[in-house]
Amino acid sequence: MVGKSRTAVVITAIAAFILFAAVSSGQEEVPKVKEQGGMGYSLFGNSSIDIENLNAKLESNGYTKLSDSYFCVGGGGHSIINNRWIIGGEACSLLGDDATGTKYKASTYMYQGFANLGYIVFAKKGLSVYPLIGLGGGSMKLTFSEKTASYSFDDVLKDPKRGATLTSGGFLINLALGMDYYLKMGENEEGHGGFLLGVRAGYTLAPSKGGWDMYSNELSDAPEISMTGFFIRIIFGGGGFEKED
């Protein structure tokens, strides 16, 4: 019930933000000269992941729960074409949590990457608002290892069966609304450059739930996971634009 309520709140907030941007676009300041350029940026933020089934399986085997909230750090970039279209990509690592059992611990690592397409619906004095869709994928690794073990390299070579790494992943869709502020730092006849600071909020969808495999061997009776959930990103970087003839 909590997950459904959170999803409803997120969808409502995104819809309200898009409506506000669409209404505001009637007051936009349209550049007199068409420009094309690009931005590169770092990003960080928070992502929530649906791992309820995985946690149920871990708890039934004596492990603690994993958190469903992960810190995201990564980078990306995009081009802006005809003052409107945003085309680019981004990737981030989701730094996760450990689940501990009596003898072993399970460590998580996740990765997501997207090709993005957006359209600027509001632009005024360096501020721009745009809906954004990203198509890509993600993966999750769950590594099991002994909690208090200390081995030499030779020990591992003689008996490598001291842990296991499980992987899962699949196709993902990002739906987001972004708001950027571009601070122009210099301009000449050819164009200008500057700094970028922005925020994006949205929801990640997984059309299908992923299973698990270990060293390319599919595991039976594995819990399904879905890398779906709300996310928020802060982006900062810079770039430049050149005027079109």
Q: What is the DSSP letter of 201?
A: E
Q: Residue 176's pLDDT is what? A: 93
Q: pTM (2 decimals)? A: 0.77
Rg over CA atoms, the chain: 22
Shortest CA distance to 90 belongs to which of 24, 44, 29? Answer: 44
- Alpha carbon separation from 31 to 36, 66, 180, 185, 225 (Å, rounded): 12, 49, 16, 17, 46
Q: Residue 141's pLDDT is what? A: 87
Encode the chain (245 residues) as per-residue pLDDT tens digits: 344 444 444 555 555 555 555 555 444 454 556 677 889 999 999 888 888 888 888 888 888 998 888 899 999 999 998 888 999 999 999 987 888 888 888 888 889 999 999 999 888 888 899 999 999 999 888 888 877 666 776 776 666 666 677 788 889 999 999 999 988 887 777 777 889 999 999 999 888 777 788 877 777 777 877 788 889 999 999 988 887 66
Residue 210: count other Cβ atoms within 10 Å of its Cβ: 20
**Owner of token pair 């690794």:** 141
Report domain extents, the chain.
Answer: 2-22+42-243
Q: Residue 75's pLDDT is what? A: 96
Q: Residue 5's pLDDT is what? A: 43
- In CATH, the number for domain 2-22+42-243 is 2.40.160
Helices and strands: H and E segment counts in the chain: 3, 11
Q: Residue 17's pLDDT is what? A: 53
Q: Residue 3's pLDDT is what? A: 45
